[in-house]
Chain A
């Protein structure tokens, strides 16, 4: 397994491009043929992806065995079929995203698990009040949440992304009729960006940022124990929260028994660090987040769509973390 460590390319250099291409193709196909006709074609494409991408198969196998070890559930142990199942789940996920973008998924079809009333707070913040942060995961289907955010009222939400395909995504979203989301490209937290984000929060706008992917050129990452092994998580969401001193909530959308379910959980009432203990605070928040994410993996084990080597950094630390 060691030879792969050096070889693995970072997700933002290959994975995202592939999935973007697949989404474009899917968007085009659904428009032309409709979902029913397109589904078999997409399954064929994913089958090809499964057969040809040895690295992706190995990475999913690794994820499934870590999940099985960590949870102690033998039923989750990877088999040829379960790895294949995860690829098929990805195809379904892409089809669902297209439905979401075309407004084919209604609010009544989605279950909202929001015990502490985060969504009402988000809706209220348009009439004043301070914005908050939503930390989003790539587990499941984050696009569903976006569709929900747009239904009925327009929600003041900014999605922070690191990749350079923002313009392409914006165009694709525009084509699909999604115009209310603001995607903001953040390659690095700098003074101008911080001021802009701070003003947005003061105006009552919320910020959504991914908590489970490390940007390519940003050294701000933190090693946490995820599913029993060391993985690099981004510091970005937690730095942002601490600098803006605002509350943090977690957002995750999983498909359970064929139905989407959005989980909104409060995470930090007020992100604040003691000076001199900032690194500890960030480590602590990132670890708690990883633990939360691990629990959510158990709810939808096959919806982990990170096909790149997630645990690529620090193989030796991984053993220590055990």
Chain B
């Protein structure tokens, strides 16, 4: 798990107030929604809000991509990294 993935995992735990869950409990490849961590659409909104604020990025609505970015911690980290790189250029 790289630093950004770790940071995002912690953000998920803090934002959603997941009790008794540590960073180690959420492997980067574990699905966040459905059977995995069991998050739902409102959690996704809450999470998107927190991510957008923290990393100063913009997550487009209605795109299939946006939904794919939220699949796992790994995909979220990759997305945030890509957004940052795009901004840096």
Contacts and interface: CB of A to CB of B under 8 A. Distances in A.
B45 A243 contact: yes
Contacts of A193: 61
Contacts of B58: 192, 195
Given A275-B16, A275-B18, A275-B19, A190 B62 contact: yes
A274 B17 CA distance: 8
Interface string A262-286: 0000000000001100100000000
Nearest to B59: A191
Interface in B49-70: 49, 52-53, 58-62, 66
B45 A191 contact: yes
B64 to A, nearest CB: 13
Interface centre among B19, B46, B66 (most CB of A within 10 A): B46
A133 interface: no
Contact of A198 (B18, B19, B49): B49
B48 interface: yes
A157 interface: no
Interface of A: 189-195, 198, 239, 243, 274-275, 278
11 contacts: A191-B52, A192-B61, A195-B58, A198-B49, A239-B42, A243-B46, A243-B49, A274-B17, A275-B18, A275-B19, A278-B42
